[in-house]
Amino acid sequence: MSTQSYSNPNSSVNNYGMNSTQNGGGAAGIAAPCQNGPGQTYPAMYPAPSYHSSLPAAYPTVSGHSASPAGKTPVSSTGYSGNYYQNSSGLSPCPAPPPRTHQYSTSTAPGQSFQQTAPYTMPAGYYRQTSSHPSQGQTQPQPQQLQPSLVPASSVNNLCAPLYPIVSYPSAPGSSQYGTLRSSQTAAEQLPVSTVMPPTQSSLQQYSQGIGTTPTPAHPGYGAPPLSQTATVNGQSNAVQQHYDQNLHNPMSHHYSAAPPSSQGPDKERPPSGTPGTSVHSSPRHHPGLLYGDRGVNNAVSSAAGDHSSSSSDHEEEDEEDEEAGGDSSSTTTGSASPVPNSYESLEGGGYSDLAAPPTSVPAKQAPPFGYNYPTMHPGYQQNPAPRPDSSPSQGGYNPPGYQPYSQPFPSLSELSSVLGGLGGVPELEVESLRPVNLLQERNILPPKRTPPPEPNLSSDLRKVNCSPDTFRCTLTNIPQTQALLNKARLPLGLLLHPFRDLTQLPVITSNTIVRCRSCRTYINPFVSFLDQRRWKCNLCYRVNDVPDEFMYNPVTRSYGEPHKRPEVQNSTVEFIASSDYMLRPPQPAVYLFVLDVSHNAVESGYLNVFCQSFLDNLEKLPGDTRTRIGFVTFDSTVHFYNLQEGLSQPQMLVVSDIDDVFIPTHDNLLVNLKESKELVKDLLNALPGMFMHTRETQSALGPALQAAYKLMCPTGGRVSVFQTQLPTLGAGLLQSREDPNLRSSTKNVQHLGPATDFYKKLALDCSGQQIGVDLFLLSSQYSDLASLACVSKYSAGSVFYYPSFHHVHNTAQSQKFQKDLQRYLTRKIGFEAVMRIRCTKGLSIHTFHGNFFVRSTDLLSLANVNPDSGFAVQMSIEESLADTSLACFQAALLYTSSKGKRRIRVHTLCLPVVSQLSEVFAGADIQAITCLLANMAIDRSISSSLSDARDALVNAVVDCLTAYRANGSNIQPSGLITPAALRLFPLYVLALLKQKALRTGTSTRLDERVFSMCELKSQPLYQIMRMVHPDLYRIDNMTEQAALHLNDSVIPQPPLLQLTAEKLTREGAFLMDCGSVMYLWLGKCCNETFIRDVLGYPNYASLPSNMTEIPELQTMYSERTRAFISWLLESRTFHPAFHVVKDDGSAKTSFFQHLVEDRTESAFSYYEFLLHVQQQMSK
């Protein structure tokens, strides 16, 4: 270890005596656009819808998308009447495969490609071609009748045949994912240091591992056996290891297990700190795919290995509340609470203390899965009885202004009651929500504005007090009465949560009495019922509880005897100030540690300059109080600590070169009080960029630096912020490059989506046990194995930030985004030592969680840190019939320590109606929530099984749902692809999801970028995920004040949403695309010069630079309108997106056109082709 000091920020400090080589690397170039195949045509395959007109294409798309491709023969309007392809034999109502010039096989050798004639590529304007629908004047053959068991096409064991043998031939090339089978120093430098250094490094806590692989008999039903009643989360399982298919071993089977709860008292229920937990497995079963109603989805996860935390939330198990430890003796939280046993399950357990909890090995009563049984089908699937047509319609969709019926118009609302005879009756207001929509005919299904989530069919009084959908949202706003009804709908039941989001209004309750159910520990909420002034009935377990005397007084109205008017009963989102009964130790101060890469690559990128300047600008805004502590660690081939003791004239650097056994050089003054040492912190931030300016150290010892950070933060917990710019190359956790750039565009399975080592996961679990959250900032221009590095944040409830090709000069868009992200990151609210529990109505159960956290028990999440920008998802099932209740309720309780050192409990309660009709289930479908939950499930499946399996399962989700709707609507049999209006966007969203970086194939995608997209889908709140999946496209060069919003003397134009297709682009227009984390302003070659001059500040299109990343503030009407509209879009955004001005003839247009999800690419369907594919699968 060595010690260095410096006198002033400008002096040459820590000079390694060598000049660094200036790389001056710029942003990575963008690959050339893909080229379409040779101009050949096939015989007629697809009948054109009747609504097509003969208008020309508005704008030819970029190469690789559907737009008059080069090499194609001109299309004759007379020769294509009613068809996309010429056919001398006339129209063909049913697609048939063309003659093949290749053979498919179940496997191919490396490098082998399929040889086939290039398919015809449709022009972008094919929706406007002159055509006549085959339904006019022709007899349509009836679609093939399905089996009573609703066997989806995907469930057939067809491994020896093409996956999509009919539609894929003409509509996608051989490379399509639908046309192929899825198929160093050894000791510390001893320099004079005034502190005592520990001689050795303490070993990291180890966790037991186990694999539960014992198969059990399959459950007769929808093609997959149910799993035992366990919770699975992100690869962790509290009781069993989940598997997906009896013939497919789960590669992510290693997990961490917790010792089961014991009833022998606190001392016997909890192993001492550092003792490995006991792996417990109970009735492990196999799982074939993405299942909705069963026990898990491709997530094998672990519970804590005993208890390894001394935090104030540890013994509570969210318990959230140690006061309940004594059992049922009291329904309130007071200072005289019973003693707290040191056991999670005996404290809260999530169960009902009056009832004997069933053992975890008992399978659910009603748990047949949704039907994702790829690649094999369970024999019992086809023996399932046919569903009864006893349901009814309810919630419809958007009907565009000026909607005109087609050649086969659907019945009016007054006639729907007879047409939907097989679906039963529902209120007239709900009938429109189930208006049948023929997706092959009704082109304009996208509403002009983002539609709000469907409102639950509750009374007006309950609606007023229900939880905001921005915080708590269910995939089904009408909860099915039974699991059988849920299975019949083929829709997933789950919750989307944003529990710690920033709120403008939050009732904070400081009462000494926190009223909770004595049985299930539910917090009193607006949906409980008061039997009289002294008794209330729990809305989750239905137990009758006493009303404490203190609750009789209302602090708002200052009246007595009206408990139903208390704030807790008038608001579905409240926050309690917790008493000392909710603490096992005094709340710790806010502690922040920054771990910075200072290798040559890091210095060249210039991120240190941006970081230090942003930190200095926001130092005063760092959340905390007078006790806030801060520290810094830097690393290259060695690890550097900084003594910031108050009274020193300048910071002191301590260098530890023994990375194989890293240790803390001193336990004092490395984490210092920010208020007392603020000037030294500023000196260090000013000096850091220059200290390593001439370094030639190219190695990265990230693992040892993280080990040192863990040791430094153990006593208090807190937040570790890691900044990394390359692949770790030294010490523990070193990684090797696993990416093959030649396979980035592969249509086969993508490899290396999982971690290469378990070092970072184990370290994250250790950190979680000590209430340390780790956030990772990866700023790299080369492969850095994010799949492995991200584990350190995933399992410690941290966040991942990724800035590809970062350079502070050559990539200004990423540099600006990094600066804005840092500003938000450093100043946003934060909670420490947090735990979250989700409770639900008796009869419902939680079986899978998604997000960044660690699972302690079946319904409890451990969150070392919680921030307002993280979202979570939960999958649920119905274990017992809900026939005895008309309402189902869900409650999320988040216990945390604020940055001010206060223990708080934030509670959200959601109430939804229970329905018995299938039509009402379809009517209440929240398609955005369903899409987000499916995205989480698909990410887990792609990691645990394969990317192709995940993609197939997503397609099956659409096929199964629409098949179920068609099969149960006995009187609805028009031709076409029929969906209820509530689900009209389902196929579009799933297609958009398939074209996301996380799940796409056939398009060049860097492995780190793919993994980061997966991380975002798993940890972002719903609104952010939906903008990623299906961006918003607006034309902004012709915005007017018509229908504009008027806010604070500002006029905010409201242009309509446009479909994501090149058809909507014009050479004369300017179009804004909002993708969530990035925004594009695309300009046509003939864009109005007035707009360019007044908004962008350049005289004409030719003078625009190719790397413009912001809109200047100009005093013109166009500029004010445009900036007002963009600011309005960003108003509720926490992280500002990167902004790119894209010229029509610029290289950056490739990224823009990749988001036009409705267009055909060389490796993916267009939206219309995807609809035809779904229809074909439904007909099997």
Summarised one tens digit per residue, pLDDT across range 961-1010 is: 999 999 887 566 657 889 999 999 999 999 999 999 999 988 888 999 99
For the chain, how are helix, strand and coil distributed in percent, rounded to 5?
Answer: 25, 15, 60
Determine the Cα–Cα distance for residues 483 and 489; give it in Å rounded to an integer: 10
| β-bridge pairing 236-237 and 436-438 | unpaired
Residue ranges with strand state E in 605-669:
629-635, 639-643, 652-656
440 with 977: CB under 8 angstroms?
A: yes
Range in 288-297, 480-489, 508-517 the model is least confident about: 288-297
Question: Is-same-fold flag (591-690+702-731+760-829; 1031-1153)?
Answer: no
Give the model's confidence band at 756: pLDDT under 50 very low, under 70 low, under 90 confident, else very high. very high
Q: Which two tokens stand for residue 70?
A: 């080069």
Q: DSSP readout, 168-183?
A: HHHHS-TTSTTTS---
- The tokens describing 100, both together, are 């093949």
User: What architecture is domain 591-690+702-731+760-829?
Assistant: 3-Layer(aba) Sandwich (3.40)
Q: What is the DSSP letter of 910?
A: E
Average pLDDT over residues 811-831: 95
In the chain, % of residues over pLDDT 70: 63
Give, to the nearest 10 degrees, the angle between helix 1022-1029 and helix 986-994: 80
For helices 986-994 and 1167-1178, give the axis angle rounded to 10 degrees.
Answer: 110
Structure confidence at residue 751 as a pLDDT band (50, 70, 90): confident
296 has pLDDT over 60: no
Higher pLDDT pick, 909 / 154: 909
Residue 536 and residue 544: Cα distance in Å, rounded? 6
Phi then psi dihedrals of residue 813, to 5 deg = -65, -45
Amino acid code (one letter) for 364: A
**pLDDT higher than 60, residue 1021:** yes
pLDDT at res. 292: 55
Considering 132-146, 166-180, 844-858, 909-923, the range whose residues carry the highest mean pLDDT is: 909-923
pLDDT of residue 972: 62
* Cβ proximity of 712 and 664 under 8 Å: yes
Share of the chain above pLDDT 90, in %: 50
Burial of 925 (0-12, 13-18, 19+ CB in 10 A): buried
Alpha-carbon span 1078 to 1137, nearest angstrom: 4
Angle at 974 between CA 967 and CA 444, to 5 degrees: 105
Q: Which of 594, 595, 701, 692 is nearest to 638 (CA)?
A: 701
Cα-to-chain-centroid distance, residue 498: 11
3-state secondary structure of 913: strand
Higher-confidence position of 708 and 76 = 708
∠ at Cα 606 (601, 610), nearest 5°?
A: 140
Report the alpha-carbon angle 309-312-314, nearest 5: 45
pLDDT of residue 291: 55
- pLDDT confidence of residue 1: 53
Biggest CA-to-CA distance, the chain:
96
| C-beta separation of 656 from 1 below 8 A | yes
β-partners of residue 836 are: 861, 894
Please state the pTM of the whole predicted model.
0.70
Segment holding 934, helix H or strand E: helix 927-944
Whole-number Å distance between alpha carbons of 798 and 791: 9
332-369 pLDDT tens trace = 333 333 333 333 333 233 333 333 334 444 444 343 33
For residues 538 and 528, the answer to whether their CB atoms sit within 8 Å is yes
Which is nearest to 526 in space by CA: 490, 494, 489, 563? Answer: 563
| Whole-number Å distance between alpha carbons of 541 and 842 | 5
Kindly tell me if the per-residue pLDDT of 708 is higher than 90: yes
Give pLDDT tens digits for 653-681: 999 999 999 999 998 899 999 999 999 99
**SS3 assignment, position 535:** strand
What sign has the CA pseudo-torsion 713, 715, 716, 717?
positive
Distance CA 394, CA 653 (A): 68
Tens digit of each residue's pLDDT (9 = 90 or more) over 1137-1179 = 999 999 998 888 899 999 999 999 888 999 999 999 999 999 8
Q: Please, which residues have CB within 8 angstroms of residue 1102's CB and are 6 or more apart in sequence?
A: none
Burial state string for 666-681 with b = 16 or more CB within 10 A and e = fewer than 16: beebbbbbbeebbebb
Map tokens 């160093």 to a residue.
184
3-state secondary structure of 192: coil
For residue 1104, give the nearest of 1087, 1079, 1124 by alpha carbon.
1087
Model confidence at 744, in pLDDT bands (50, 70, 90)?
Answer: confident
Better-predicted residue by pLDDT, 157 or 816: 816
Compute the distance between CA of residue 307 and CA of residue 697 in angstroms, rounded to an integer: 40
Could you tell me which residue, 587 or 318, shows the higher pLDDT?
A: 587
Mapping DSSP to helix (H, G, I), strand (E, B) and coil, where does residue 47 land?
strand
pLDDT in tens, 460-493: 999 999 999 999 999 999 999 999 999 999 999 9
Is 89 buried (19+), middle (13-18) or exposed (0-12) by CB count in 10 A?
exposed
Contact 139, 1137 (CB under 8 A): no
Structure tokens at 361: 């090995």
Alpha-carbon dihedral 919, 921, 922, 924, rounded to 10 degrees? 120
Q: Enter the tokens of residue 245.
A: 């298919």
Domain segments of the chain as ranges: 42-143, 591-690+702-731+760-829, 1031-1153
Which has the minimum average pLDDT: 110-119, 419-428, 802-811, 1106-1115?
110-119
pLDDT score of 970: 56
Can you identify the CATH homologous superfamily of domain 1031-1153? Severin (3.40.20.10)
Q: Which of 380, 308, 316 lies closest to 342, judged by CA?
A: 316
Phi, psi of 619, rounded to the nearest 5 degrees: -60, -40
The predicted-structure confidence for 74-131, as pLDDT tens digits, reads as follows 333 333 333 333 333 333 344 444 444 444 333 333 333 333 333 333 444 433 333 3
CA dist., res. 488 & res. 222, Å (int): 10
- The Cα 258–Cα 255 span in angstroms is 10
| Per-residue pLDDT at 1059 exceeds 90 | yes
Cα(1013)–Cα(1028) distance, rounded to whole angstroms?
A: 9
What pLDDT shows up at residue 742? 77
- Lookup result for tokens 């639950």: 456
CA distances from residue 336 to 76, 344, 905 in whole angstroms, order as listed: 87, 20, 19
CA distances, 402 to each of 405, 444, 449 (Å): 10, 11, 16
Distance of CA 483 to the CA centre of its chain: 26
Which residues 6+ apart lie within 8 Å of 478 measured at CB? Answer: 394, 456, 457, 912, 913, 914, 915, 920, 921, 923, 924
**Side chain identity at residue 1112, one-letter code:** P
Could you count the other beta carbons within 10 Å of the beta carbon of residue 186?
Answer: 9
Q: Are residues 747 and 1163 in contact, defined by beta-carbon separation less than 8 angstroms?
A: yes
Average pLDDT, the chain: 72
Residue 348, both tokens: 């809260």
| Section 918-933 average pLDDT | 95
Q: Which residues sit opposite 634 in a β-bridge?
A: 596, 640
Cα 797 from Cα 799, distance rounded (Å): 7
CA 570 → CA 462, 543, 573, distances in Å? 10, 20, 9
527-537 per-residue burial string, b: 16 or more CB within 10 A, e: under 16:
bbeeeeeeebe
- For 208-358, list the strands marked E by DSSP: 209-210, 232-233, 236-237, 255-256, 301-302
Task: Report the pLDDT value the prediction gives residue 743, as an integer from 0 to 100.
Answer: 77
Residue 954, H or E segment = helix 947-968
Residue 1099 pLDDT > 70, yes or no? yes
pLDDT of residue 432: 67
Question: What is the rounded average pLDDT of the residues 867-873?
Answer: 96
Mean pLDDT of 1088-1107: 91
Q: Where are the beta strands (DSSP E) in 194-285?
A: 209-210, 232-233, 236-237, 255-256
Joined together, the tokens standing for residue 309 give 């935390």
Helix (H) or strand (E) holding 346, with range, is helix 344-347
Hey, CA dihedral for 1056, 1062, 1065, 1070, is it positive or negative?
A: positive
Find out whether the peptide bond into 271 is cis, omega within 30 degrees of 0: no
